[in-house]
Structure 1
């Protein structure tokens, strides 16, 4: 039997902490992925915060995630990386009763996986819910732990027309049961531990043909399979969507959602039997953009109020923080970000000093970055800021002339070598970044190498508490320079690491190298050269090309008749690059090729789709003369299983001997390739699952060369025999 009293005990005594300082931080160094977000925040028992950071790596084609430890001041203490070989999206992160942690993620087209971690964040077990429940695809939205084990709530399919679902697993990875709910079109789901060891689930969806979304709340016993009661919250006949559910400090539960197609925040207080105690709705504030409903909610540690987060619906989306008393009355509303960037809040937790910490994502530095907001009990972060302009110098005299050409340029704030804040320049050329008091360095990220900053390119500043430091300005010039050269090697990669090491001096001569230089998608330079000795090439006539542009260099491989056979590698045959640090660029392309004998060498393969008895199938035969010399009177013999009858072919066969068919190819030049198809009928007497074999063999298949004049008649002979499963 598990005990949860220690967790509750810590929360009760946390309210004695003192008032804390607020702050805002972006974290570009956690990962280089284009899109990162803080999915969940936990209070670290050792102090500070624990972040679950979700990433989408567009280059590698899969997702990974990090768990990050932060200090109370928002500094990174440590980072733990978790990579997976498949696409995942993080769902939830909780502390477990044994002092460890659990993360829940969904695999694309597969379902939910529960990963258990020890107190040092090392994986101890992993449970795939679709293995536990093979007849249902389990896609979780949230997870809780009770005395029986772990329970997830979600839906049975990633599509919109899915059924609500609750599934459980015990500490030994055994299934506790699965329950499908009798309503569909599930979008959001939540679960919260009840006071008696059971739990409540809440989902939005439809239960009949009305087509209007409602919220359904179920109370389960601790076993997870007994439904004590179910309630339907229909929003007075209007559309209502679910956002979050939390335990009310004064008893019962509070559900946060949205009405009016998401334009109104809705809070609903229910008692232990699911009866509505009160219901409140809130629309957008005067002069502020429309809100985007379904919010997250959590009690403040003082036990007298709630924090709630949501987002605005405008193009420069901002984060909205609201505070409510225990009767659902709005105490304060704060807006964060959104002036020149997009910020989206995803999670909120009450902090021990009476404030809250918000996990979000922000478009600072022109990519989605993990973003944390820490507030005091009044929802404040910084009382200080830095402000300035980024202007354009038209005549290159380092005097600002206009700001109209420079919106969306990122401005970064560094402290102790780390980026602590960032913002994009607005259409008026201005920026404003909230900061704590202290010393910082401010820099601007240039659009390309063709832009330069009038000295200095980094400004040292000191921000005083309660003040906004203004006139921290930058002046940029547009000064593109003509490119000098692009050069490199088509080299023999001995160790297969795609990098030209000092010992890899051999290269491939006479190979074509193609270069394209682009500006705004238009080709400015298109040129071809041949590699010289050691595979060296150079493009040094780049008329019209500047360091504002980008290039695509391609070395497709050896030309026909080169006498080389290149083996597949993981090294790219082309490179796309800009010119961030100079007017020249070196691009080395790796190959691993062997010399071919001076004779014809025909490569052939044969493939087909699934073969079923009493049905026709098509075999595809592809061939190439990869040898140095042409092949005269070439032909291919194709032998089929006795259970297959040949009925047709795309080229005629010249002879048939039993199940072997001969196809004449005639003259094949070096490098010449071709293909043909053969249609077969499988025997109707064969059972399903029968394996059929086919073989293709190309001729000529020998390469006999006369010995050299220095041959002394010696030979190398190799003999072998099979002993058990080994060749001796």
Structure 2
């Protein structure tokens, strides 16, 4: 997969704002005024129609200051009060759960430590305004370090607390503690194995109708999770291990619809990890298991009234560090089949996680987590939508030029619609029928159609709309006519990798972005001297000197197509890491009108002449340069020379350098008298040898290749040995350790992915979150 993006000189606020407008649903972040990091672990509905959330808050003070943190909101997520336990003290406390007390106020549950290593279980009793009524800590045998994994508010008004115990002799174990409503300890149970699992822990626990409990955890083997059944006093009735892959987790369990149990977690394999759900009978015997999208983790589970379930978790791009994540809700039916997925993304940072989901009295959900290291809450409807209004419409070719849609008028595919309003900018692309759809909140918006080039004009490029109500759909169509009847061909060439001594597959993608059919179109492909054409999906003609012509026939407007060819890369005359270039040029390669008249037009060239490198600059325009410009020569990654030049029409400059094995790049302004930022370049690698007998490699793709016009594309690749089948590469790579790239540079991203397993991968999704410095409107799929 090859994707083009433009590096922007400014940052955009994309798709996400700290505070959404009030609506049927909402999503909010709560940045810490002190600049600390925080997140929510869980949120619950409150009797007044609002919500209570608990999590952790870390202050940037140098010492360990991590606090259990609570926030109370109204029905719209507006804060009413917040509270940090032991704020100001040195220590490490974590908030794990919150319970609405039957007689008013709240219980907050978590873990507390003075040094961040030796923990005790923490229970707080608070009134309706968050003031502490009492607090208690618990440890196994009142002394041993004890951590909280999960909890259950029991029918008698007390709690069952589940977690783990660390002993000095390393005979660690899982732990259950039963307390009453006043926080008094009733009983405790320890489940340990001498010299066994170093991480025995219970993660989640639920009380059953018979007074007993079902729990998940790492029971007696690391990364082999279990369901564990206890009676009312914590005695073990049975355990059931599950091993789905090389590393598994079960984070949440619930009694299933119709009996038995259902648990969610993740399974880890070579290519990443997958969210999973396992369904069992009443004795924990597996009935079925289902895996979901790659690189997803499900951490919480809720039963829905329709007999299905909803999962909460995060989708991680594990190829990036720090991880790029998106929180998600996933709805499944009673058999585990996926019904829908809703993502909660912070596009400014690409970092969002969900920690819990809870059913709300209106049939929707309240979800809690973090967004860019800030606490995050979202209120959704029963279909998982936090925002409920749609902007829909289509972009079509207005053949009758009446600015309205008539039956049979063609939709325009892959056109971009921009929506601005509510403090954010969103983008959508049209489908094959020209249709687009964007989910927005209530408010006022401006919709703008972005034509791909200057050959098109819309009756209205921008339209203002207002959405004052919930669950509304507003339709905006864009009628587009032509300014000139012109084909406009583009071409892109790409290969996923290049290996010596192997056949390598190249893809040619071509498009007609013009307004009429391009007749008798063709692509000419020039191969690197060390590549030899082996086969192609289209007939071709050899023009000599490794140049081949592929006839495409007539290409209708607003149409793209592709074909593949294979080329063998020579073994004996190449070295590992050497760069090999393939150039593609498409015809027709002219416009109906000449955009470059009475101007200087510069072309550059580098040639290897045995013991020297020849550099050529030519003015092929129909006018001389009005002012002097500068060309530069780069030796490997060092600016070798910067020289002013001025050429009349048809004039040229030629100079040379010894062929010493360095990589040389010649770069000059393409239109020196224009106000644009357009350049041409030529790079040569492997001409001559250094005193040590080799030549430099790895510098060709540090800079843009600048093919010189819109009808040519150049693909330069370094040949490789062993390779990672799942990665992402960006070209140009940029120079220096920081990979510097000029603003306004087009960047080509190559995303490679492969199923290295032994079974079919279903519903493969490639998700990539844009940096804030990239212009979303410039994203364009390339050859793949």
TM range, smaller chain: 0.3 to 0.5
TM-score w.r.t. length of structure 1: 0.47
Bigger relative CO (Cα 8 Å, ≥ 6 apart): 2
TM-score w.r.t. length of structure 2: 0.44
